[in-house]
């Protein structure tokens, strides 16, 4: 089975006040923490979609395919479409936002193992029955992902295919938390 990964790293960080992915959390920039949790070597091919040259250069140095995103202003759907275009030959693709700095590699590995055992399902990381990110989508749902528009990610595709959803429990609730504002401000759950 050929699995791919898309790390979506194009957010404008309006609530944060700038490119939050270069901001350190617990001593490491968020983008580096995302790459540690979702390392390229776990996949047949992995890419980072970003509008930031410094993030694309870092991604390439870490073994990811860098995918420039000139359409970042369109929102998450542009990252989904661009990333999926780079991985169209995969059997399944994991999509991950990069502002969940406490996501752990072990949880991602469990998520991939669950998808390998259930390759027709959407497998998403969750906590106590609540779906979070990342999520792995099977090849037959790629057309629905490619049809996304605006600031929408795979959540709409998941809602339209609830009967195919499998939740894989994270190790801790904080793995699903994202950082939307400078530390000290509110932190929102995904």
For domain 3-189, the CATH class is: alpha beta
Please list the alpha-helical segments (H only) found in the chain.
30-37, 53-61, 76-86, 105-117, 142-146, 155-160
Task: Determine the average pLDDT of the residues in 107-125.
Answer: 97
Domain ranges within the chain, ordered by starting residue: 3-189
pLDDT, tens only, 142-174: 999 999 988 888 999 999 999 999 999 999 999
Task: Determine the average pLDDT of the residues in 41-50.
Answer: 96
| Structure token pair of residue 42 | 């776990």
Rounded-to-integer distance, Cα 85 and Cα 99, Å: 23
Question: Is 177:100 a contact under the CB 8 Å cutoff?
Answer: yes
pLDDT, tens only, 53-111: 999 999 999 999 999 999 888 888 999 999 999 999 999 999 999 989 999 999 999 99
What is the sign, positive or negative, of the torsion defined by CA atoms of 57, 23, 14, 6? positive
């Amino acid at each position: 089975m050929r699995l791919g990964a898309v790390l979506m790293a194009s957010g404008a960080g309006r609530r944060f006040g700038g490119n939050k992915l270069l901001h350190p959390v617990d001593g490491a920039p968020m983008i580096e923490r995302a790459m540690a949790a979702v390392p390229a070597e776990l996949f047949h091919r992995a890419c980072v979609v970003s509008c930031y040259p410094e993030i694309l250069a870092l991604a390439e140095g870490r073994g990811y395919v860098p995918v420039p995103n000139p359409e970042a202003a369109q929102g998450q759907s542009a990252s989904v479409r661009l990333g999926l275009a780079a991985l169209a030959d995969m059997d399944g693709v994991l999509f991950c936002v990069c502002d969940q700095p406490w996501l752990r590699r072990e949880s991602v590995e469990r998520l991939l193992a669950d998808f390998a055992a259930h390759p027709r399902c959407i497998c998403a990381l969750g906590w106590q029955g609540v779906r979070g990110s990342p999520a792995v989508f099977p090849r037959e749902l790629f057309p629905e992902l490619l049809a996304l528009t605006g600031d929408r990610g795979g959540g709409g595709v998941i809602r339209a295919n609830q009967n195919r959803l499998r939740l894989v429990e994270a190790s801790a609730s904080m793995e699903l938390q994202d950082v939307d504002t400078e530390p000290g401000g509110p932190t929102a759950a995904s």
